[in-house]
């Protein structure tokens, strides 16, 4: 790939993301390619960003285009969906993402159901996934995203807390196992995946939009909320 662009210039492009911190995060190759950025969004932006965040009353993943949000949270969304961020990710993984559209989902809560967080390797339609933590605090030992060595969610190589500003990005493959130990509570995060087609993006947004509508119906919502879901995005 071409030489890495000046991250100082990219920092001026982003309103909230720290381009230098993202560029400097080491890419780890075991058990599969992933990179952790402890402060991809500086902590002093916490109140500013979260004051404009969508309100999500239920568990599961929600399609970002359908979520009402304020201007400052939308600025973060635009940071993530823009070409400069895609370039940073592409260079991190030495991969061409120019023809891979983004699919952006948001999670607000987890149920604590035992089957929630089961180990899986994600959809074959995904190329790279980026998770951005937006939770004010996560004091729990359980419920952290786990990079796994195998399809056993106890076989953990790295844990990622969903606290504000942290970022985890990883390459999808047959062995990109991940999951977490169940923990009930409000847990806000964004999941951005670069995928192989616009058709997949449309299907995902429709599916999650339908799920959100069903959960909003008074009679159906409580029933759906009892069903286990993987809020990190099992596809």
Q: Are 173 and 123 in contact (CB under 8 A)?
A: no
> CA triplet 211, 215, 218: central angle to 5 degrees?
150
Segment 193-232, tens digit of pLDDT: 999 999 999 999 988 767 665 665 555 445 554 554 444 4
**Around 13, how many Cα atoms within 13 Å sit in the side-chain half-sphere?**
19
pTM of the full structure: 0.86
| Residue 3 DSSP label | P
Number of Cβ atoms within 10 Å of the Cβ of 210: 11
For every one of its 235 residues, what pLDDT tens digit does the chain have, with 9 covering 90 and above?
Answer: 554 555 554 556 899 999 999 999 999 999 999 999 999 999 999 999 999 999 987 778 899 998 999 999 999 999 999 999 999 999 999 999 999 999 999 998 888 888 788 889 888 899 999 999 999 999 998 999 999 999 999 999 999 999 999 999 999 999 999 999 888 888 899 999 999 999 999 999 988 767 665 665 555 445 554 554 444 444 4
Residue in 36, 25, 32, 35 with CA at minimum distance from that of residue 172: 32
Sorted by where each starts, the structural domains of the chain and their CATH numbers stand as: 7-225 (2.60.120.620)
Q: Are 55 and 109 in contact (CB under 8 A)?
A: no
């Amino acid at each position: 790939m071409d030489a890495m662009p000046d991250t100082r210039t990219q920092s001026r492009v982003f309103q909230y993301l720290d381009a230098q911190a993202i560029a400097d995060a080491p890419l780890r190759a075991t058990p599969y390619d992933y990179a952790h950025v402890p402060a991809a969004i500086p902590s002093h932006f916490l109140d500013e960003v979260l004051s404009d965040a969508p309100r999500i009353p239920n568990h599961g993943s929600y399609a970002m285009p359908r979520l009402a949000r304020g201007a400052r949270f939308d600025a973060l969304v635009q940071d993530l969906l823009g070409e400069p961020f895609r370039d940073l990710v592409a260079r991190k993984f030495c991969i061409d993402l120019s023809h891979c559209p983004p699919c952006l989902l948001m999670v607000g809560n987890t149920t604590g159901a035992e089957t929630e967080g089961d180990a899986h390797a994600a959809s074959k339609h995904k190329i790279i996934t980026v998770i951005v933590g937006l939770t004010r605090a996560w004091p729990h030992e359980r419920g952290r995203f786990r990079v796994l060595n195998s399809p056993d969610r106890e076989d953990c190589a790295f844990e990622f807390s969903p606290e504000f500003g942290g970022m985890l990005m990883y390459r999808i493959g047959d062995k990109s196992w991940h999951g977490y130990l169940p923990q009930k509570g409000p847990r806000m995060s964004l999941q951005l995946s670069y995928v192989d087609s616009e058709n997949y993006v449309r299907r995902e947004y429709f599916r999650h939009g339908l799920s959100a509508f069903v959960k909003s119906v008074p009679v159906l919502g409580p029933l759906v909320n009892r069903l286990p879901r993987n809020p990190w995005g099992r596809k």
